[in-house]
Amino acid sequence: MKHLILYGFLFFAVGVFAQEKDKFLPKGNTEFAEKKYVDAEADYRISQSKTPKFAVSSYNLGNSIYRQNVASEAKYPYLKAIESAKTRPQKHKAFHNLGNVFMKEKKYTEAVEAYKNALRNNPDDEQTRYNFALAKKMLKDNPPPPPKKDDKKKDDKKDKKDDKKDQDKKDQDKKDQDKKDDKKDGDKDKKDDKPKDDKGQGQPKPQPGDIPKERLQNLLDAVNNEEKKVQDKVNAKKVKGRPVKTEKDW
């Protein structure tokens, strides 16, 4: 596992992705080179929001997250980069790094597929070929457990029971709906207005790619620092543009 090679960001950074209009991408690249991965992540996220159709920001964002040892979260930017990639070299590198994420997660089946797709886009890359062979070996040594026959029979019986329950529920729902149709609309409004308890009901579930609270605060701090620098520059220009007094006030 320690021999897995993560492709860097430089390949994508040299492409023509309207960098003249996107100052956050080159700034993020500089911070990445200086190992300021949190700051780089913040700039890449801003760049990604400004140029969502370009693979470069998503790919670099994935690398900055991967370097912070939260590889599982990096898979989402890599998938976005694969979706947006226009060239085979871009897809090759994104698939390669996605395979590294799956290897860290010990999802060897997915890792084999990712490296295979990487090789389809660049069959001559020895690093990907090595990782592909390693993933296949790990999958062979750690095969996924096959489904048991008894479990299959239980699943079949369960499916039949579930089908019967579903039909019974549909019949009951129809009866209940007939009764509800006779009630006034006000009854429904009162029911909808009932407050929910404080046990977490009604709260949205975490979605894939959500940022942990601690890292989110770090990102917000980085973004706020960037906004402060911009405001300081604006204020400095205003001061510089003021007329100079030639006489003292008495």
10-141 is classed CATH 1.25.40.10? yes
Mean pLDDT confidence for 178-203: 53
Higher pLDDT, 204 or 123: 123
d(CA 233, CA 21): 19
pLDDT above 90 coverage of the chain, percent: 46
Q: What pLDDT, on the 0 to 100 scale, is given for residue 223?
A: 74
Other beta carbons within 10 Å of 237: 9
Distance of alpha carbon 51 from alpha carbon 19, whole angstroms:
10
pLDDT at 145 over 50: yes
Percent of the chain residues topping a pLDDT of 70: 61
d(CA 211, CA 140): 34
pLDDT recorded at residue 250: 31
pLDDT at 171: 72
Regarding predicted confidence, which is higher, 180 or 3? 180
User: CA dihedral in degrees (205, 209, 213, 215; nearest 10)?
Assistant: 180
Angle at 158 between CA 153 and CA 159, to 5 degrees: 100
Q: Which residue's entry shows tokens 């605060």? A: 217
**Residue with more model confidence, 51 or 209:** 51
More confident residue, 182 or 65: 65
pTM of the model: 0.62
Q: Does the pLDDT value for residue 182 go beyond 80?
A: no
Q: pLDDT tens-digit profile of 154-178?
A: 666 666 667 767 777 777 777 777 6
Using one digit for the tens of pLDDT, what is the confidence trace for 39-56?
999 999 999 999 888 899
pLDDT at residue 14 tops 60: no
CB 62, CB 28: distance < 8 Å:
no
CA distance 98 to 104: 10
Contact 72, 98 (CB under 8 A): no
**81-87 CB contacts, 8 Å cutoff, 24+ apart:** 81/55, 81/56, 82/55, 84/52, 84/53, 84/54, 84/55, 84/58, 85/55, 86/55
Interatomic CA distance for residues 194 and 8, integer angstroms: 53
